[in-house]
Amino acid sequence: MTRRTFAFFDWRLRPDQDADAPPTTYAFRCLTLNDDDTECAAKSPASDDPTEPQTWAFAHMREFPEHTSYAEVTERPWAMWREGPT
Ligand SMILES: [Zn+2]
Tell me the pLDDT tens digit for each residue of 23-58: 999 999 999 999 999 999 999 999 999 999 999 999
Q: Is residue 7 part of a domain?
A: no
Q: Is residue 54 part of a domain?
A: yes
For the chain, how many structural domains are there in total? 1
Q: Separation of 22 CA from ligand 1 center, angstroms?
A: 28
Q: Is residue 9 part of a domain?
A: no
Tell me the pLDDT tens digit for each residue of 1-27: 676 666 677 888 999 999 999 999 999
Question: Which of 86, 35, 84 shows the shortest CA–CA distance to 64?
Answer: 35
Q: Separation of 47 CA from ligand 1 center, angstroms?
A: 19
State the residue range of the domain holding 61. Answer: 23-78
Instruction: Report whether 27 contacts 71 (CB < 8 A).
Output: no
Q: Is residue 14 part of a domain?
A: no
Instruction: Report whether 33 contacts 39 (CB < 8 A).
Output: yes
Q: Is residue 18 part of a domain?
A: no
Q: What is the pLDDT of residue 8?
A: 73
What distances in angstroms separate CA 65 from CA 33, 46, 59, 77, 83, one per listed residue?
Answer: 13, 23, 10, 34, 52
Instruction: Report whether 77 contacts 14 (CB < 8 A).
Output: no
Q: Is residue 15 part of a domain?
A: no
Q: Is residue 39 part of a domain?
A: yes
